[in-house]
Amino acid sequence: MEANFNMLAKTLFGFEDLLAGELRQLGASNIETGVRSVSFSGDKGFMYKANLCCRTAIKILKPIANFTVRNEEDLYKAVKSIDWSEYMALDDTFAINGTVNGPHFTHSQYVALKAKDALVDQFRERSGARPNVDLKFPDLSIDIHINYNSCTISLDSSGVSLHQRGYRLATNIAPINEVLAAGLLMMSGWKGQTDFLDPMCGSGTMLIEAAMIACNVPPNLNRKQFGFENWNDWDPDLFDTIEEAALQKIREFHFTIKGYDKAPSAIEKARENIKNAELEEFITVEHEDFFKTEKTTERRLQMVFNPPYGERLAIEMESFYKEIGDTLKQNYPGTQAWFITSNLEALKHVGLRTSKKIKVYNGKLESRLVKYDIYEGTKKDRE
């Protein structure tokens, strides 16, 4: 039986508990949350499963060495002491990504360069030749993390960031990151138990992630490749078994998932991406201006959306956010509405009381995920 080993899953700020919950549900052990990361244990099959099934992970790293380093010479010696022939051949390409925190090392690119020199020198001394760097499509991705004096060297089992699911080939001006979209949906409590609407759906990311959660579809099913597929111990039969087991857990969905956008080009892109994700039977998109729509279902409705913040799209923010509030209040009774924004000033003009406000980041933009409960009838009726 394959032995367990330690791994580290990277995520977005504020998503650590969500990711820990996902890993727990998938069967990981020794789970501990950090800052933008969760450490855990599992075997090789579980590493495949985590890459395939975690909605809020950006990377799954496999640490192979830990050293104390005080200067660049220590770093060079530490990297060179690893037998790299265990992990790659001379004709394999590689890339090194560095992150640093503390007073001794201040430039992550310099750390990556120094580590590259050590790895290349080891091969050159042993064989007289050196492997090549390929920053875009390396056979082996290596991650170096230095926190003060502690240096951890890991193999990146994911390769390209896990937010790149493989279904989104068409995008609009400000597409939302797939991991961010999935995390916001999970924070909103979305499990596929009601009808769903994204009234400003753009290229359809929120809709697709909502459908995958509702049907329990593995989020990275559409990816062309993972980093571990280039490793010496790659086991395609084991991966097929893991994938088949995940597909067996897909469930039926008995509600509707709908998207609106007032830009015909966005609707076209959304349809293309939904088709790529093979979710056309669950999602419909319509060319509509949200402010001219009303609720079309008698059932409870959940909304999660990503309106413009004024960062990249030039619109009159105060009146725009006021119109969001007015439309919700007047046209969408019996709705739980969530949206994310970094425009905290414009948020004041929605004119509705938030029932929840959660700090999140959209890229580098500090944002809020806000919730509005729109009740049916008047306050007097409810009482």
Q: Provide CB contacts within 8 A for 275, sequence distance 6+.
A: none
The alpha-carbon radius of gyration of the chain (Å, integer) is 23
Instruction: Report, as an integer, the average pLDDT of 48-74.
Output: 96
3 state SS for 188-226: CCCCCCCEEEECCCCCCHHHHHHHHHHHCCCCCCCCCCC
CB atoms within 10 A of CB 359: 10
Structure-token pair, residue 40 = 């855990």
Q: Tokens 């580098």 — which residue? A: 364
Instruction: Report, as an integer, the average pLDDT of 184-208.
Output: 97
pTM of the predicted structure, to 2 decimals: 0.93
CATH of 5-156, one of 3.30.2130.30, 1.20.59.10, 1.25.40.10, 1.20.120.160: 3.30.2130.30
Of the listed ranges 238-252, 253-267, 366-380, the one predicted with least confidence: 366-380
Structure-token pair, residue 27 = 């069967």
Tell me the three state secondary structure of residue 86. helix
> Residue 185 pLDDT more than 90?
yes
Instruction: Report, as an integer, the average pLDDT of 252-260.
Output: 96
Per-residue model confidence (pLDDT) at position 87 = 96
Per-residue model confidence (pLDDT) at position 175 = 78
Tell me the three state secondary structure of residue 138. coil
Per-residue model confidence (pLDDT) at position 141 = 96
pLDDT tens digit sequence for 119-167? 999 999 999 999 999 998 899 999 999 998 999 999 999 999 999 998 9
> Residue 170 pLDDT more than 80?
no
Question: Could you give the count of Cα atoms lying within 13 Å of 150 in the half-sphere of its Cβ?
Answer: 4
pLDDT tens digit sequence for 259-269? 999 999 999 99
Residue 383's pLDDT band (cuts 50, 70, 90): very low
pLDDT tens digit sequence for 308-319? 876 555 568 889
Per-residue model confidence (pLDDT) at position 380 = 42
Per-residue model confidence (pLDDT) at position 316 = 84
Q: Distances from the Cα of 187 to the Cαs of 21, 51, 88, 318, 370, in angstroms?
A: 12, 21, 40, 26, 10
Instruction: Report, as an integer, the average pLDDT of 107-129.
Output: 94
Of the listed ranges 89-93, 190-194, 311-315, the one predicted with least confidence: 311-315
Q: Helix crossing, 72-80 with 108-127: angle to 10°?
A: 40
DSSP-derived secondary structure for 311-357: SSS---HHHHHHHHHHHHHHH-TTEEEEEEES-HHHHTTS-S--SEE
Q: Are 357 and 369 contacting, i.e. CB atoms less than 8 angstroms apart?
A: yes
> Residue 19 pLDDT more than 90?
yes
CA distance 88 to 209: 35
Question: Could you give the count of Cα atoms lying within 13 Å of 380 in the half-sphere of its Cβ?
Answer: 0
Q: Taking all residues of the chain, what is their mean pLDDT, rounded to a whole number? A: 93
Tell me the three state secondary structure of residue 178. helix
pLDDT tens digit sequence for 36-58? 999 999 999 999 999 999 999 99
Per-residue model confidence (pLDDT) at position 314 = 54
Domain boundaries along the sequence of the chain: 5-156, 178-217+227-382
Architecture per CATH, 178-217+227-382: 3-Layer(aba) Sandwich (3.40)
Q: Are 16 and 23 contacting, i.e. CB atoms less than 8 angstroms apart?
A: no
Q: Tokens 């329990």 — which residue? A: 216
